[in-house]
């Protein structure tokens, strides 16, 4: 009896120390996507608005770090840590961020391509993206038209905003592919990350910021700041940032992560792993 108990304990310890198989991660993210698709439109809207507002703190933190750090070649290595703040708030706070939904919501659609599921995915994407952008614009407008930040910090915000629209259409789109790819990969890593969740969010979002890989919400707050400051026209913001970034984020999140992850899972199912 004692030997059996010891063996059971050893097997349990081995299980706990073993990384979960890919299909378990897939099922965890698929279940999360199902849950999000069942949420009411009102719940999605309020959560999306909260996420858009929260992402504004990335701009504030990045601007504060840039202002107070010395003007040196290594400064971007530190001020881009500010970019991670919004992602930490949004993800740990379970708020609805558009680029996360490009992955979680697409998995149920890849498994069930019915018109009903497709329209439900469009409903979720549309509500979350719209309310993220509304929240981001409201935050940027508040920073521009109030004295929340000192005048010197507001000038740094303008500098950061100009960096977001510094590239041509194709370059912006390609960089946004990498942002969508990385954020979606982060979603794959989080379900079983346990105590490493914070570090995964920081490292992945830091890479997005440091590489100037465009994110439609985090970068959108920067562009909205220029828009609210009359430094950029609405047409310029659409053509130079929002359209190419949207396309790139969706390609990175859906095609390079969700679709490939789904294809890998289905291939495992055909080779003997039971797919539900």
Give the tens place of pLDDT for each residue, 134-176: 999 999 999 999 999 999 999 999 999 999 999 999 999 999 9
Do you know the residue count of the chain? 276
Question: Which among 88, 104, 105, 97 is positioned nearest to 131, based on CA atoms?
Answer: 97
The pLDDT of residue 31 is 83
Instruction: Give the whole-angstrom CA distance, residue 172 versus residue 167.
Output: 6
Q: Are 156 and 65 in contact (CB under 8 A)?
A: no
pLDDT at site 110: 77
pLDDT at 14: 41
Look at residue 165 in the predicted model and tell me its pLDDT. 96
Would you state the pLDDT for residue 166? Answer: 94
pLDDT of 273 reads 44
Q: What is the CATH topology of the domain spanning 22-270?
A: Glycerol uptake facilitator protein (1.20.1080)
Give the SS3 label for residue 1.
coil
Give the model's pLDDT for residue 206: 97
Which segments in the chain show pLDDT lower than 50? 10-18, 272-276
Would you state the pLDDT for residue 129? 95
Closest by CA to 190, choosing from 112, 97, 109, is 97
Q: Is 146 helix (H, G, I), strand (E, B) or coil?
A: coil
Return the domain boundaries, the chain: 22-270
Give the pLDDT of residue 267. 60
């Amino acid at each position: 009896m004692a030997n059996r108990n010891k063996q059971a304990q050893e097997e349990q310890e081995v299980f706990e120390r073993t990384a979960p198989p890919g299909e378990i991660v897939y099922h965890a993210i698929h279940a999360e996507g199902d849950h999000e698709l069942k949420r009411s439109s009102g719940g999605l809207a309020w959560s999306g608005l909260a996420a858009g507002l929260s992402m504004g703190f990335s701009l504030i933190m990045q601007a504060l770090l840039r202002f107070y750090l010395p003007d040196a070649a290594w400064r971007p290595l530190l001020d881009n840590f500010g970019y991670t703040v919004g992602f930490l708030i949004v993800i740990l706070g379970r708020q609805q961020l558009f680029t996360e939904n490009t992955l979680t919501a697409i998995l149920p659609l890849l498994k069930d391509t019915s018109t009903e599921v497709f329209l439900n995915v469009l409903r979720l994407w549309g509500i979350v993206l719209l309310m993220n952008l509304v929240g981001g614009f409201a935050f940027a407008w508040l920073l521009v038209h109030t004295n929340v930040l000192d005048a010197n910090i507001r000038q740094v915000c303008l500098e950061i905003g100009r960096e977001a629209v510094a590239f041509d259409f194709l370059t912006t789109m390609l960089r946004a592919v990498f942002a969508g790819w990385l954020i979606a990969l982060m979603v794959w890593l989080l379900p079983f990350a346990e105590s490493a969740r914070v570090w995964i969010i920081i490292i992945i979002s830091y890479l997005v910021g440091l590489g100037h890989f465009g994110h439609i919400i985090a970068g959108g707050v920067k562009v909205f700041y220029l828009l609210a400051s009359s430094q950029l026209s609405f047409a310029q913001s659409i053509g130079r940032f929002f359209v190419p970034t949207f396309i790139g984020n969706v390609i990175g999140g859906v095609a390079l992560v969700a679709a490939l992850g789904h294809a890998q899972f289905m291939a495992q199912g055909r080779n003997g792993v039971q797919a539900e």
